[in-house]
Structure formats: C-alpha cells, structure tokens
Amino acid sequence: MANVKLAVIFYSMGGTNYQLAQWAKEGAEEAGAEVKLLKVQELAPESTIEQNDAWKATVEATKDVPIATSDDIVWADALIFSTPTRFGNVASQMKQFLDTQGGLWANGQTVNKVVSAMSSAQNPHGGQEATILNLYTTMAHWGAIIVPPGYTDPVLFGAGGNPYGTSVTVDQDGNMVEDVKDAVKHQAKRTVTVAEWVKKGQQET
C-alpha cells in the first residue's frame, strides 16, 4: 500500500448516508488506507430540523464528526462522497461544498484525485443513479479520476447492481431495503486500490 489517504465525505439527513460512509471507512481501512470521515456543513435552519425526529437524531449522532474543508480535499489522494438524492441531484448541502472548491480547481489541486460516490433515495428509481452521475459531472470538471464499482464483484448484484456507485432504497420508516454493506466496502477497497496505482504512477514519473 502506497500510504493512500482517503476522505469519506457525506451529507445525511436521516442517517442512511452516515451509515454508508462508516462502512466505506471500514472497507478502506481494511485495505490499508488512512481515512478521514467527514460531513459537509448543514445549511437547513435549526427550526426546520427540530420538526423532524430522524433529522434531529442524525444531527446529534454526527455532532462529533468533523466538517469537511478544502484542506481535506488537498490532503486526500482519494475521495468517496455519499449523499441522498434531491430531485435526481445531490443534496444542496453537498452541492454547496462542491461549489466552494473553485479555488482548489483553479489551482489544479483537484486534478487526479481518485473519486467514487454513493447515494440513497426512498424509491428504487427515485434518482439514485442520476444523483451519482450528476456528482461525477462535477468530478469531470475537477479533472478527477472517477472509479465506479461497475460489476467487479458478485456482491454488487445483491445490493441492487448499480454500476455507478452503491445506492440504497430507504423505506418510509428509514430502513435500508437492500443489503449494501459488503458492496460499500468493496467499492471503498476498489477506490483505494486505484488510488494506490495512481499514487505509485505519479511517484515514478
């Protein structure tokens, strides 16, 4: 392992993407990476959050998770993003974080970052794939190296078979419908492996 540094950056309202991010961290650490688990800044007013028990519980559960900054992007060799879908796109909190990285982009500091993404929605066809692909559009502008899971392991089929990134359906009670833990961990390990290849290649040139 070429000392790969991975930032797992998530936004979570009901706890699902927080759990996905935790599994990604576990998988990456099993692959030998140094991992930071980070959340993006919450933008919703506290009065709105207080009206939703699941949202309030997630804020409490993640209160000690550091907020992602531009310095974390610079630090990382690889990035895994996890975000719920909002009308087929990334949550505004995640979009805000991505949109504020213009300074890094202008200085070439997002180039060759190895990136993968995950998502969730309340319906199987509620924008899970579109959300990941929309995030990857931003990564193309960053000059990042996008690493989807594809169909590189049979475990992905049990998780719904999304080749763009692990995604999960969440029922009305906030429970994950598909069993995606192993798929998330595989995706994280694959991301770390590719980042290792890229880092070794950069060191040898």
Could you tell me the CA-to-CA distances from 183 to 39, 114, 194 in Å, in that order? 21, 18, 17
Give how far the C-alpha of residue 114 lies from the chain's centroid of Cα atoms, to the nearest Å. Answer: 12
Residues 11-63 have pLDDT tens digits of 999 999 999 999 999 999 999 999 999 999 999 999 999 999 999 999 999 99
Contacts of 148 (CB under 8 A, 6+ apart): 116, 136, 163, 164, 165
Ordered structural domains, the chain, with CATH = 5-204 (3.40.50.360)
Question: How would residue 94 be classed by pLDDT, with cut points 50, 70 and 90?
Answer: very high
Residues 73-85 have pLDDT tens digits of 999 999 999 999 9
